[in-house]
Structure 1
Amino acid sequence: MIPVQGFEGAKVAVLGLGRSGLSAARALRAGGAQVLAWDDNPAAQEAAHEEGFEIKELFREGAFDDVASLIVSPGIPHLYPSPNKVVAAALRAGVPVDNDIGLFFRSLSGSNWASYDQPPKVIAVTGSNGKSTTSALIHHVLEEVGRDVQLAGNIGRGVLDIDPPGDGGVVVLELSSYQTELARALTPDIAVFTNLTPDHLDRHAGLGGYFAAKRRLFAEGGPDRAVIGVDEDEGLFLAGQLAEGRGDDRVIRVSAKGKLSGPGWMVFARKGFLSEYRKGKQAGSIDLREIKGLPGVHNHQNACAAYAACRTLGLAPKVIERAFHSFAGLPHRSQRIGEANGVAFVNDSKATNVDSALKALLAFDNIRWICGGLEKDGGLDGLASGLGNVVKAYVIGREAAQFSLGLEGVEAEVCTTMEAAVARAAQEAEPGDTVLLAPAAASFDQYDSFEKRGEDFIAQVKRHIGG
Structure 2
Amino acid sequence: MIPVIGVEEQRIAVLGLGRSGLSAARALREGGAHPICWDDNEAARDIAAGEGFKVSDLSRQGAFDDIALLVTSPGIPHLYPEPNRVIAAALAAGVPVDNDIGLFFRSFAAQGFDEFDTPPRVVAVTGSNGKSTTSALIHHVLSEAGRASQLAGNIGRGVLDIDPPEDGGVVVLELSSYQTELARALTPDVAVFTNLSPDHLDRHGGMGGYFAAKRRLFSEGGPDRAVIGVDEAEGRFLANQLSVGPSDDRVIRISSGTKLTGPGWQVFARKGFLSEYRKGRQAGSIDLREIKGLPGAHNHQNACAAYAACRALGLAPRVIEAGFASFGGLPHRSQLIAEQNGVSFVNDSKATNVDSAARALMAYGRIRWICGGLQKEGGLAGLAPGLANVVKAYVIGREAAAFALDLGETETEICTTMERAVARAMEEAEPGDCVLLAPAAASFDQYDNFEQRGDDFTARVRANLG
Residue aligning to 1:351: 351
Residue aligning to 2:461: 461
What CA distance in whole angstroms lies between the structure 1 residues aligned with 2:125 and 2:16?
A: 24
Question: Is the 8 Å Cα contact of residues 132 and 174 (structure 1) preserved in structure 2?
Answer: yes
Unaligned residue ranges in structure 2 (runs of 5+): none
Query: What is the CA distance between 1:313 and its match in structure 2?
Result: 1.2
Residue 315 of structure 2 is aligned to residue 318 of structure 1: no
What CA distance in whole angstroms lies between the structure 1 residues aligned with 2:266 and 2:127?
A: 18
Residue aligning to 2:233: 233
What CA distance in whole angstroms lies between the structure 2 residues aligned with 1:86 and 1:425?
A: 48
Query: What is the CA distance between 1:420 and its match in structure 2?
Result: 3.4
Residue aligning to 1:307: 307
Cα–Cα, structure 1 residues 82 and 369, in superposed 2: closer, same or farther, change >3 Å?
closer
Question: Is the 8 Å Cα contact of residues 332 and 349 (structure 2) preserved in structure 1?
Answer: yes
Mapping for residues 181-192 of structure 1, pairs under 5 Å:
181-192=181-192
Residue aligning to 1:156: 156
Query: What is the CA distance between 1:250 and its match in structure 2?
Result: 0.8
Cα–Cα, structure 1 residues 331 and 92, in superposed 2: closer, same or farther, change >3 Å?
same
What CA distance in whole angstroms lies between the structure 1 residues aligned with 2:455 and 2:202?
A: 31
Cα–Cα, structure 1 residues 377 and 183, in superposed 2: closer, same or farther, change >3 Å?
closer
Cα–Cα, structure 1 residues 86 and 375, in superposed 2: closer, same or farther, change >3 Å?
closer
Query: What is the CA distance between 1:399 and its match in structure 2?
Result: 4.7
Per-residue CA shift, 1:301-341, capped at 9, x if unaligned?
11111110001111111221121122222211111112122
What CA distance in whole angstroms lies between the structure 2 residues aligned with 1:384 and 1:86?
A: 43
What CA distance in whole angstroms lies between the structure 1 residues aligned with 2:350 and 2:249?
A: 35
Question: Is the 8 Å Cα contact of residues 339 and 465 (structure 1) preserved in structure 2?
Answer: no
Give the partner amino acid of 1:162.
Answer: I
Cα–Cα, structure 1 residues 409 and 90, in superposed 2: closer, same or farther, change >3 Å?
closer
Mapping for residues 190-209 of structure 1, pairs under 5 Å:
190-209=190-209
TM-score with structure 1 setting the length: 0.94
What CA distance in whole angstroms lies between the structure 2 residues aligned with 1:154 and 1:263?
A: 35
Residue aligning to 1:101: 101
Query: What is the CA distance between 1:111 and its match in structure 2?
Result: 5.0
What CA distance in whole angstroms lies between the structure 2 residues aligned with 1:48 and 1:308?
A: 41
Cα–Cα, structure 1 residues 212 and 392, in superposed 2: closer, same or farther, change >3 Å?
closer
Per-residue CA shift, 1:26-47, capped at 9, x if unaligned?
1100111111112222322222
For the residue of structure 2 that corresponds to 1:107, the secondary structure is helix
Cα–Cα, structure 1 residues 200 and 398, in superposed 2: closer, same or farther, change >3 Å?
closer
What CA distance in whole angstroms lies between the structure 2 residues aligned with 1:207 and 1:396?
A: 28
Give the partner amino acid of 1:247.
Answer: S
Most deviating of 219-228 and 344-353: 344-353
What CA distance in whole angstroms lies between the structure 2 residues aligned with 1:402 and 1:226?
A: 42
Give the partner amino acid of 2:67.
Answer: V
Give the partner amino acid of 1:360.
Answer: A
Mapping for residues 396-415 of structure 1, pairs under 5 Å:
396-415=396-415
Query: What is the CA distance between 1:286 and its match in structure 2?
Result: 1.2
Query: What is the CA distance between 1:447 and its match in structure 2?
Result: 2.8
Cα–Cα, structure 1 residues 277 and 332, in superposed 2: closer, same or farther, change >3 Å?
same
Residue aligning to 1:395: 395
What CA distance in whole angstroms lies between the structure 1 residues aligned with 2:205 and 2:29?
A: 35
Give the partner amino acid of 1:215.
Answer: R
Most deviating of 148-157 and 368-377: 368-377
Residue aligning to 1:132: 132
What CA distance in whole angstroms lies between the structure 2 residues aligned with 1:87 and 1:202?
A: 18
Per-residue CA shift, 1:365-384, capped at 9, x if unaligned?
01122223344455444323
Mapping for residues 242-261 of structure 1, pairs under 5 Å:
242-261=242-261
What CA distance in whole angstroms lies between the structure 2 residues aligned with 1:380 and 1:64?
A: 45
Unaligned residue ranges in structure 1 (runs of 5+): none
Question: Is the 8 Å Cα contact of residues 396 and 417 (structure 1) preserved in structure 2?
Answer: yes
Cα–Cα, structure 1 residues 101 and 230, in superposed 2: closer, same or farther, change >3 Å?
same
Question: Is the 8 Å Cα contact of residues 71 and 100 (structure 1) preserved in structure 2?
Answer: yes
What CA distance in whole angstroms lies between the structure 2 residues aligned with 1:3 and 1:209?
A: 32
For the residue of structure 2 that corresponds to 1:290, the secondary structure is coil
Give the partner amino acid of 2:104.
Answer: F
What CA distance in whole angstroms lies between the structure 2 residues aligned with 1:70 and 1:408?
A: 49
Residue aligning to 1:70: 70
Question: Is the 8 Å Cα contact of residues 328 and 336 (structure 1) preserved in structure 2?
Answer: no
Cα–Cα, structure 1 residues 218 and 150, in superposed 2: closer, same or farther, change >3 Å?
same
What CA distance in whole angstroms lies between the structure 1 residues aligned with 2:392 and 2:77?
A: 43
Question: Is the 8 Å Cα contact of residues 344 and 435 (structure 2) preserved in structure 1?
Answer: yes
What CA distance in whole angstroms lies between the structure 2 residues aligned with 1:427 and 1:367?
A: 14
For the residue of structure 2 that corresponds to 1:160, the secondary structure is helix
The sequence identity of aligned pairs, in percent, is 76
What CA distance in whole angstroms lies between the structure 1 residues aligned with 2:376 and 2:183?
A: 32
> How many residues of Structure 1 are paired with residues of Structure 2 in the alignment?
466
Give the partner amino acid of 1:275.
Answer: S
Per-residue CA shift, 1:113-132, capped at 9, x if unaligned?
22212111100011111111
What CA distance in whole angstroms lies between the structure 2 residues aligned with 1:396 and 1:88?
A: 39
Per-residue CA shift, 1:91-140, capped at 9, x if unaligned?
33332221111110111134532221211110001111111111111111
Give the partner amino acid of 1:443.
Answer: S
TM-score with structure 2 setting the length: 0.95
Question: Is the 8 Å Cα contact of residues 111 and 165 (structure 2) preserved in structure 1?
Answer: no
Residue aligning to 2:436: 436
Cα–Cα, structure 1 residues 423 and 201, in superposed 2: closer, same or farther, change >3 Å?
closer
Residue 221 of structure 2 is aligned to residue 221 of structure 1: yes
In angstroms, what is the RMSD of aligned CA positions?
1.9
Residue aligning to 1:16: 16
Question: Is the 8 Å Cα contact of residues 133 and 302 (structure 2) preserved in structure 1?
Answer: yes
Residue aligning to 2:6: 6
For the residue of structure 2 that corresponds to 1:444, the secondary structure is coil
What CA distance in whole angstroms lies between the structure 1 residues aligned with 2:215 and 2:188?
A: 13
What CA distance in whole angstroms lies between the structure 2 residues aligned with 1:136 and 1:147?
A: 14
What CA distance in whole angstroms lies between the structure 2 residues aligned with 1:400 and 1:205?
A: 28
Query: What is the CA distance between 1:160 and its match in structure 2?
Result: 0.4
Per-residue CA shift, 1:39-71, capped at 9, x if unaligned?
222322222112111122323343323222111
For the residue of structure 1 that corresponds to 2:370, the secondary structure is strand
Residue 37 of structure 2 is aligned to residue 37 of structure 1: yes
Question: Is the 8 Å Cα contact of residues 197 and 355 (structure 2) preserved in structure 1?
Answer: no
Give the partner amino acid of 2:31.
Answer: G
Query: What is the CA distance between 1:257 and its match in structure 2?
Result: 3.3
Question: Is the 8 Å Cα contact of residues 346 and 437 (structure 1) preserved in structure 2?
Answer: yes
Most deviating of 65-74 and 1-10: 65-74
Per-residue CA shift, 1:249-282, capped at 9, x if unaligned?
1110111130111111011111221110000000
